[in-house]
Amino acid sequence: MSITFSVKGDAVTKQDFAAMAEEVKACHTALHEKTGKGNDFVGWVDWPVDYDKEEFARIKKAAEKIQKQSEVLIVIGIGGSYLGTRTALDFIKTPFYNEDKKKTTPDIYFVGNNISSAYLSDILGILGDRDFSVNVISKSGTTTEPAIAFRIFKQLLENKYGKEGAAERIYATTDRARGALKTMCNTEGYETFIIPDDIGGRFTVLTAVGMLAMAVAGVDIDKVMEGAQWAREAYSNPDIMENPCYQYAAARNFFYRNGKTVEILANYEPHMVSFGEWYKQLYAESEGKDGKGIFPVAANFSTDLHSIGQFIQEGSRYFFETVMWCKEPKSTVLVPFDAEDLDGLNFLKGKEMQFVNSKAFAGTMLAHMDGGVPNMVIEMDRMDAWHFGALVYFFEKAVGISGYMLDVNPFNQPGVEAYKKNMFALLGKPGYEDMKEELEKRLNG
């Protein structure tokens, strides 16, 4: 089991890495000794060994209870309270998890990640009369999207099972001591799991935020933590020449300083589509501030080669590509022989689809490099729980180092509040009256 990183061609040389070695070492020291910006939110660095073992055991027990008691688990959360869990299920299990009729674990649906009445109505229709439980995930309990969804499903549970019965089916992942949701948990008696004070939302997938739903889906969460533990040790060397994670962080900054301001995280497996969504939040919120940052986008090949492939090949040259490649497919499918061979594919008869996919990967990489797009590759052996934990840690550690190289605070997100203030004012929330009038004038002017 392993993860490897490489820069293809001579886009970044050993001499380039050597020139950044002292800068990277300083960023490593700032991160590990907690002297850098946002140092009160770096608890994720040692979380794979420092995690709460008692809570971890409670997560497993709660998952078993949900599995016995419910046909459906509704996960309520947005941003870091949702993306990592969705990613884990797609990566480790399958994007068709809920459609798998052979599984013995509950269906899992995600709500509270938008404000769409159509989406929520669809979920309610799919839920129907089935028995269900809820995992509501929110540090404060007042974030608009999940708070609205929780109101609806809390009421649904209480109408279906009564107030005490509902309390047996509500699991809250929230602040240790304060906030609206924590207050409700204390009053209503919901089982509570903790969002650590020193780990920001987008870094929480390896905490209870992600682990409960994973365990409900039958994921071996011990293996997830083992992968993260391996990565913590593997990527602890301050020497850039010995640390692939730091090479990735440094290469990103090398490209950025040479005019490449967009990173495309590409994959060749639909199981990794959600990973791209999780990556976008992790990197955009961590680096996009102070007028700086590499804009993260995700692409799903070979599908997107038939949409944005033309632009990647011949469009503006302001981006670089990082490809996530899995060596071992989850299953094997062979290309069959066809006597008429009208499509001209008999030369592939008997070949595994993974073989064809690998040549699409290799051919695309070479074409894009020839077109002036630098390429890097992050390669894993397989898509399983261990590799998921290791990859999560790889990307978290890399963005911490990369953010410090950009000289920003990688662990805050002040810009996220701007839209919320405007939305509250336009909705007529008490205390925003003056702002409401000003914004409405702008909208109607």
Q: Residue 77 CA to chain centroid, in angstroms?
A: 13
Are 204 and 245 in the same domain? no
Which residues, in sequence order, are bridge partners of residue 324?
267, 378
Both 196 and 66 in one domain: the answer is yes
Residue 72 has, within 13 A of its CA and on its CB side, a CA count of 20
The confidence band for 119, taking pLDDT boundaries of 50, 70 and 90, is: very high
Question: What domain range is 398 assigned to?
Answer: 3-36+225-406
Is residue 434 domain-resident? no
**Residue after which a domain boundary falls, among 178, 203, 219:** 219
Q: Which burial class, exposed, middle or buried, applies to 224 when counting CB atoms under 10 A from its CB (0-12, 13-18, 19+)?
A: buried
Task: Tally the residues of the chain.
Answer: 445
Instruction: Mark 160-191 as b/e (b = at least 16 C-beta within 10 Å).
Output: eeeeeebbbbbbbbbbeeebebbebbeeeebb
Same-domain pairing of 192 and 253: no
Using CA atoms, how far residue 133 sits from 76, 113, 185, 207, in Å, is 11, 18, 15, 20
Give yes or no: 420 in active site: yes
Instruction: Tell me the CATH number at 149.
Output: 3.40.50.10490
Residues 98 and 170 in one domain: yes
| Same domain, yes or no: 287 and 183 | no
Indicate which residue of 420, 421, 433, 438 is catalytic: 420
pLDDT score of 427: 83
Same domain, 93 and 189: yes
Residues 233 and 378 in one domain: yes
Residues 236 and 200 in one domain: no
DSSP calls for 278-347: HHHHHHHHHH--TT--PEEEEEETTGGGGTTHHHHHHS-S-EEEEEEEESS-SS--BPPP-SS-TTS-GG
Is the per-residue pLDDT at 327 higher than 90? yes
Q: Are residues 156 and 8 in the same domain?
A: no
53-71 pLDDT, tens per residue?
999 999 999 999 999 999 9
Domain-located, residue 414: no
User: Is residue 398's pLDDT more than 90?
Assistant: yes
For residues 181 and 251, state if they share a domain: no
Q: Regarding predicted confidence, which is higher, 222 or 420?
A: 222
Query: What is this structure's pTM?
Result: 0.96
Tokens found for residue 38: 């946002």
The two structure tokens encoding residue 244: 């692939």
pLDDT at 441 over 90: no
Task: Give the pLDDT mean for 319-340.
Answer: 96
- Indicate if 289 belongs to the active site: no
Residues 214 and 232 in one domain: no
pLDDT at residue 297 above 80? yes
The catalytic residue among 285, 287, 321, 396 is 285
Residue 97 lies in a domain: yes
Q: What is the mean pLDDT of the chain?
A: 95
Number of domains in the chain: 2
Residue range 148-180, pLDDT digits in tens: 999 999 999 999 999 999 999 999 999 999 999
Domain boundary among 159, 186, 219: 219
